């Protein structure tokens, strides 16, 4: 199945792989205390906001290249701004700490955007067409950004050290998994199905582990209203949706293969 997603820049691909290896080696060997030394929580909040804005713009750019009109992109951009502002305000006002069931409130803060995003994709035709037109290369390139958010785990003192290593390295490995999917597609442009499986597997497993530990352990023992939670409350639902839409593409490929066999 040769298509636009198989058009790779080898230099860019190799640069991604080198960045991943350096990130894994660095954050597996450098003491977290050394990273905290000159990095305050205010700096961390700014860094989170900047990376999340960049990631949001990457998604809007990908949708635009897939055919989304300017009006559609403006609507989605406005939703992103409202969503992010709401998450930031709730954290600033201590909403989760004051909730009767903080863990449930947090879970709903992650689940509700996923459900709404999925329904929007299913029911809003302009968004359906744009997402369906996005290539596997685009999905995996966006999922590669998990590594950037994994790095941020190591620059906040608001989390237990064991969770920083678990979540941080897990996200970096998830980004590495997306890179492996891209590299496989580069080497095997006719086997998009395997590229999707390889590119999504680590990321999905990481979400299962980290979200479970974060909800059942970290939020149980630590105050939930920290700016680090801008990541799970805003970015994590976006990555979950990327996984869902990427796997939907896998379903279409399986149907095409089945129809070819039947034919």
pLDDT in tens, 8-61: 666 566 666 677 677 667 666 766 665 665 667 788 888 899 999 999 999 999
Helix (H, G, I), strand (E, B) or coil at 183: helix
Residue 135 lies in a domain: yes
Residue 129 lies in a domain: yes
Kindly provide the residue ranges of all beta strands, DSSP E only, lying in 65-223, ordered along the sequence. Answer: none
pLDDT: is 223 or 133 the higher one? 133
Domain count, the chain: 1
Name every residue whose Cβ is closer than 8 Å to that of residue 185 and which is 6 or more positions away in sequence.
5, 6, 8, 136, 137, 140, 191, 192, 195, 199
Residue 156 lies in a domain: yes
Residue 54 lies in a domain: yes
Residue 150 lies in a domain: yes
The closest alpha carbon to 204, from 161, 165, 166, 171, belongs to 171
Give the integer Cα–Cα distance in Å for 5 and 80.
26
Please give the average per-residue pLDDT across 50-73, as a whole number: 95
Give the integer Cα–Cα distance in Å for 221 and 183.
40
Residue 188 lies in a domain: yes
- Tell me what pLDDT residue 34 has: 58
Name every residue whose Cβ is closer than 8 Å to that of residue 57 and which is 6 or more positions away in sequence.
none
Residue 20 lies in a domain: no
Distances (CA, A) of 212 to 132, 163, 208: 30, 11, 6
- Tell me what pLDDT residue 240 has: 96
pLDDT: is 221 or 185 the higher one? 185
Report whether pLDDT(163) > 90: no
Q: Which residues form the domain of 78?
A: 37-254
Q: What is the mean pLDDT of the chain?
A: 85
Residue 68 lies in a domain: yes
- Tell me what pLDDT residue 252 has: 80
Contacts 24+ apart (CB under 8 A), 163-166: 163/213, 163/214, 163/217, 163/218, 164/32, 165/32, 166/209, 166/210, 166/213
Provide the angle, in degrees to the nearest 10, between the axes of the packed helices 125-133 and 41-65: 90
Kindly provide the residue ranges of all beta strands, DSSP E only, lying in the chain, ordered along the sequence. Answer: none
């Amino acid at each position: 199945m040769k298509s636009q997603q198989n058009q790779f820049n080898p230099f860019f691909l190799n640069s991604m792989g080198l960045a991943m290896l350096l990130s894994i080696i660095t954050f597996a060997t450098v003491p977290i205390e050394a990273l905290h030394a000159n990095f305050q929580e205010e700096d961390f909040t700014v860094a989170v906001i900047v990376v999340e804005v960049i990631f949001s713009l990457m998604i809007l750019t990908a949708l635009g290249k897939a055919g989304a009109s300017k009006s559609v992109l403006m609507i989605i951009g406005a939703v992103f701004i409202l969503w992010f502002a709401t998450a930031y305000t709730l954290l600033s006002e201590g909403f989760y700490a004051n909730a009767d069931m903080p863990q449930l409130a947090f879970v709903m803060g992650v689940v509700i955007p996923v459900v709404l995003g999925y329904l929007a994709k299913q029911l809003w035709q302009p968004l359906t067409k744009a997402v369906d037109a996005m290539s596997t290369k685009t999905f995996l390139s966006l999922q590669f950004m998990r590594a950037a958010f994994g790095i941020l785990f190591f620059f906040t003192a608001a989390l237990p050290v064991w969770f920083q290593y678990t979540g941080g390295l897990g996200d970096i490995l998830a980004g590495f998994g997306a890179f492996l999917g891209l590299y496989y597609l580069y080497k095997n442009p006719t086997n998009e199905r395997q590229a999707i499986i390889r590119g999504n597997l680590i990321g999905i497993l990481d979400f299962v582990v980290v979200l479970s530990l974060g909800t059942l352990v970290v939020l149980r023992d630590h105050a939930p209203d920290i700016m680090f939670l801008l990541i799970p409350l805003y970015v994590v639902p976006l990555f979950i949706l990327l996984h869902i839409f990427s796997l939907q593409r896998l379903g279409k490929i399986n149907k095409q293969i089945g129809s070819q066999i039947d034919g």
